[in-house]
Amino acid sequence: MAELNQLTFWNHIRAFYASWRQAGPYWGGENGVDAMILVNGKTDEDIIYGRWLSTVLYFCGYEMDNTIIVLTKTSVHLLAGPKKCKLFQPLVDSAEEIKLHVHVKEKRADLSPLYDTLVDSIQASGEGSRVGYIKRQPDQGKFVNGFISRLTDQNIERVDVSIGWAILTAQLDNVGINAARQAASITAEVHNKFMVRAQMEDSIEEDTKIKHSEIAQRTEDIFTNLAEEKERKKYKIKLNEKTSWNDIESCYTPIIMSGGIFTI
């Protein structure tokens, strides 16, 4: 089970509320919103990127499926399964200005009381009639759809605040900047020492043919295999001491193109 970085969580919570309280045009326009919701329902392996996913990652550090987060003017409410809630339990008694409330979703339990608790928190925040959400999400499954239906039944208007979240999550703190630098460094190392030298140059020198898809798959596999010390030593790929090799993974399959006749 993943670990929650409490410092990063609270830093990002503070950054969000500071931005929201400025009441910029991307947080609901002139009338603003009374609360925000972040929902991530069933897992879809075909979807590798989405604004709702990046926003949940911004707060939690990893993907949290079947999770509903409600952010009101004064509190954060999280509804998820027992294992996920256990990660957040140590934060409940924090001395932070914004209070965290954790609601456990048990298997096969009646969700109506839990939905009611979240709706009540929204209605008690500001005017309680407008909630910000991220538009254009795919079908989220029964759990999330049931909550959205409850908002509709209570005449709570949903307002698209996707741009606000995009602007907020694009601003990297020192942790994010260091992670981006490390990711760029590892990508360059794999590109130069494996994809170019071990694949393309060897293929050219030996006058052998290799499919683009095969090079791409082998390159992507390297990121998975970096957790093994022998693979790292084989290609002499280094990582700073503060980052775990188990945290390294490929986010996109490499796109390789070629063509034309060249004299090399």
Q: Give the residue among 4, 12, 24 at the shortest CA–CA distance from 173.
A: 12
pLDDT at 111: 92
pLDDT at 48: 55
pLDDT at 257: 75
Residue 199 exposed, middle or buried by CB count within 10 Å (0-12, 13-18, 19+): middle
pLDDT at 2: 62
Owner of token pair 């399964």: 81
pTM: 0.79
Residue 135: how many other CB atoms lie within 10 Å: 12
Which stretches in the chain have pLDDT values below 50?
none
Domain ranges of the chain: 6-170, 174-247
φ/ψ bin of 258: left (φ > 0), alpha (ψ from -120 to 50), beta (otherwise): beta
pLDDT at 69: 95
- Mode of pairing for the β-strands spanning 35-40 and 157-160: unpaired
CATH architecture of the region 6-170:
3-Layer(aba) Sandwich (3.40)
pLDDT at 211: 83
